[in-house]
């Protein structure tokens, strides 16, 4: 609890309201609440509006960002400061509930009685949760049952994975399938943070989790696209605070974020509203520090506290991977899966482009030598296939040498083998979803390498589960 006793109970007056920016004036300079403190104002219709102090302006003014709508706030209304920053309830009562940025329930299932709370802004990285390299790392790979992910982008406990892609390439579906496949088996708990995306997606997630009986292991927090930037920005912090509180209870946490780009975008909106000059790239000057504030908070350490494994969907504006916000996000990720529009056009779901993506977790010390060898082999084949594909467009397939032809055919079979019907996409594909174990994936790849499938038509490997 961040209390500043001397300023407790201070009251200021609203002097201006400009959209989500509210200026509150205090009588004396030492009454002005610190940055990130929370104030409340009542509107004419007695609705509370929550304000977070963003900066101090001359004339004892606290310039605030509203967390909810500022409609009907009047000038001269009293703004009360209770000595705290924004806090959310934590603990067991938050399971199976959907809350907003302030930790208030939005699922119409009644009030939440939390015994403890935690500020959503942290005062810096928790020294107790040390970097895992200092405490002796033990790698534990979490199987997702998705062939291409388990093979090329293994989900290591405590690591950060990003699913990058432009609009409509399947980021949310991949995230949902990972939740569907691993939360049931995962011993720890799960936090889902919905940032700035469609409201209906909250519903879908809720029913998906209820259907599989995993809702009571999950905490859900939403700040969707209809909410003011303060809420969309803060909700990432709320999610981090929930994950942090579970981590402190020595639990292993899976943190899902859809979509972290919207957090950066909300930060940019706030920055513009506050009149800060954008950087050359058009984004807020604090882009990197905002991305790092979030990612450094959810880092893991063994020895003290549990781990946080995060899977973050990253929207890529105009499919441009060099977008500064996207770059700022992926510097913090261990694995990046890049979705490609070309693959979507070919119906190759999940549309992860293995050559554009990368993973630091693909290391023989983590995944073992056999897995590593197979993964490198498959990447080599895909590289060669890309070259051959361009050649074939010019000279035709019949001009390839017999060895190139063989490699070309096997590569296409591997490419098809990497597609998979998802349980959460049954409505789109009309096919039953498959869970494929890592062993089945590795065996399937070996069979294709060894020529055991040379006589199988490539279509037989498209959108299937394990190799039968
Ligand atoms: N694995 C899949 N199998 C079949 N269809 C899929 C799959 N993934 C995505 N799709 C199709 O693509 C559409 C968009 O998927 P999704 O909502 O996951 O995209 P997104 O990347 O999250 O998009 P946005 O950026 O708009 O949030 C789905 O409605 C579905 O039709
Ligand atoms: Mg989406």
- Point out the ligand nearest to the CA of residue 202: 2
* CATH number listed for the domain at residues 5-84: 2.40.10.170
Nearest ligand 1 atom, CA 175: 18
Residues 48, 95 contacting (CB under 8 angstroms): no
> Please, where in the chain does CATH 1.10.1140.10 lie?
369-461
Nearest ligand 1 atom, CA 429: 4
**Distance from Cα 444 to the centre of ligand 1, integer Å:** 26
Q: How far apart are CA 135 and CA 129, in angstroms?
A: 10
pLDDT tens sequence across 23-65: 999 999 999 999 999 999 999 999 999 999 999 999 999 999 9
Residue of minimum CA distance from atom 10 in ligand 1: 170
Residue of minimum CA distance from atom 30 in ligand 1: 428
3-state helix, strand, coil in the chain (%, to 5): 40, 20, 40
Contacts (Cβ under 8 Å, ≥6 apart) of 385:
407, 408, 411, 412, 415
Supply the pLDDT for residue 54.
95
The verdict on pTM exceeding 0.85 is: yes
- Point out the ligand nearest to the CA of residue 164: 1
Supply the pLDDT for residue 3.
40
Residue of minimum CA distance from atom 31 in ligand 1: 428
Residue of minimum CA distance from atom 12 in ligand 1: 170
As for ligand 1, residues whose beta carbon falls within 6 Å of it are 165, 167-173, 197, 315, 349-350, 422, 425, 428-429
Beta strands 11-18 and 21-25, pairing class: antiparallel
Q: What is the 3-state secondary structure (H, E, C) of 125-164?
A: CCCCCCCHHHCCCCCCEECCCCHHHHHHCCEECCCEEEEE
Supply the pLDDT for residue 76.
94
**Distance from Cα 176 to the centre of ligand 1, integer Å:** 10
Give the residue carrying structure tokens 């029913």: 207
Q: Which residues are catalytic?
A: 171, 197-198
pLDDT tens sequence across 365-401: 999 999 999 999 999 999 999 999 999 999 998 999 9
Supply the pLDDT for residue 291.
94
**Distance from Cα 346 to the centre of ligand 1, integer Å:** 14
Ligand 1, from 168, 202, 352, 353: best to mutate by most atoms within 8 Å of Cβ? 168
- Point out the ligand nearest to the CA of residue 427: 1
Has residue 135 got a pLDDT over 60? no
Has residue 127 got a pLDDT over 70? no
At residue 278's C-alpha, the angle toward residues 272 and 283, to 5°, is 90
**Distance from Cα 222 to the centre of ligand 2, integer Å:** 14
- Identify the architecture of domain 89-363 in CATH: 3-Layer(aba) Sandwich (3.40)
Residues 121, 237 contacting (CB under 8 angstroms): yes
> Poorest-confidence range of 27-36, 115-124, 234-243, 278-287?
115-124
Has residue 270 got a pLDDT over 70? yes
Residues 430, 461 contacting (CB under 8 angstroms): no
Nearest ligand 1 atom, CA 163: 21
Has residue 306 got a pLDDT over 50? yes
> Could you tell me the two tokens for 84?
């705290």
**Distance from Cα 167 to the centre of ligand 1, integer Å:** 9
> Could you tell me the two tokens for 305?
């506290």
pLDDT tens sequence across 201-226: 888 888 888 887 888 889 999 998 99
> Please, where in the chain does CATH 2.40.10.170 lie?
5-84
* CATH number listed for the domain at residues 369-461: 1.10.1140.10
């Amino acid at each position: 609890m961040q209390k500043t006793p001397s300023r407790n109970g201070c009251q200021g007056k609203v002097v201006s309201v400009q959209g989500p920016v509210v200026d509150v004036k205090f009588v004396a300079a030492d009454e002005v609440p610190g940055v990130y403190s929370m104030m409340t104002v009542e509107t004419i219709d007695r609705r509370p509006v929550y304000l977070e102090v963003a900066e101090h302006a001359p004339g004892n003014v606290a310039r605030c960002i509203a967390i909810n709508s500022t409609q009907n706030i009047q000038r001269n209304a009293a703004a009360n400061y209770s000595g705290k920053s924004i806090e959310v309830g934590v603990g067991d009562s938050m399971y199976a509930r959907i809350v907003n940025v302030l930790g208030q329930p939005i699922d119409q299932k009644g009030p939440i009685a939390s015994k403890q709370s935690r500020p959503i802004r942290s005062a810096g990285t928790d020294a107790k949760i040390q970097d895992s390299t200092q405490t002796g790392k033990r790698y534990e790979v979490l199987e997702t049952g998705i062939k291409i992910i388990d093979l090329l982008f293994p989900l290591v406990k405590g690591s950060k994975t990003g699913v990058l892609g432009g609009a409509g390439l399947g980021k949310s579906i991949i995230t949902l399938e990972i939740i569907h496949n691993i939360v049931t088996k995962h011993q720890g708990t799960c936090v889902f943070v919905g940032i700035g995306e469609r409201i209906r997606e909250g519903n879908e997630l809720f029913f998906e989790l209820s259907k599989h009986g995993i809702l009571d292991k999950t905490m859900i927090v939403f700040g969707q696209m209809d909410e003011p930037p303060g809420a969309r920005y803060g909700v990432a912090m709320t999610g981090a605070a929930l994950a942090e509180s579970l981590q402190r209870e020595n639990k292993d946490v899976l943190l899902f974020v859809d979509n972290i780009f919207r957090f950066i975008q909300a930060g940019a909106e706030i920055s513009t509203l506050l009149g800060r000059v954008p950087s050359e790239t058009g984004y807020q000057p604090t882009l990197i520090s905002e991305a790092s504030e979030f990612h450094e908070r959810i880092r893991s350490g063994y020895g003290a506290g549990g781990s946080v494994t995060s899977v973050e969907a990253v929207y890529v504006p105009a499919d441009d991977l060099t977008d500064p916000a996207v770059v700022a996000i992926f510097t913090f990720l261990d694995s990046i899966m890049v979705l490609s529009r070309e693959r979507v056009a070919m119906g190759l779901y999940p549309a992860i482009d293995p050559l554009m993506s990368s993973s630091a977790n693909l290391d023989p010390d983590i995944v073992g030598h056999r897995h590593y060898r197979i993964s490198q082999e498959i990447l080599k084949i895909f590289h060669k296939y890309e070259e051959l594909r361009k050649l074939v467009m010019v000279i035709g397939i019949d001009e390839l040498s017999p060895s190139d032809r063989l490699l070309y055919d096997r590569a296409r079979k591997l490419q098809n083998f990497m597609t998979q019907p998802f349980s959460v996409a049954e409505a789109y594909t009309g096919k039953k979803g498959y869970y494929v174990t890592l062993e089945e994936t590795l065996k399937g790849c070996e069979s294709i390498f060894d020529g055991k499938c040379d006589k199988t038509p490539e279509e037989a490997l498209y959108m299937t589960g394990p190799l039968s």
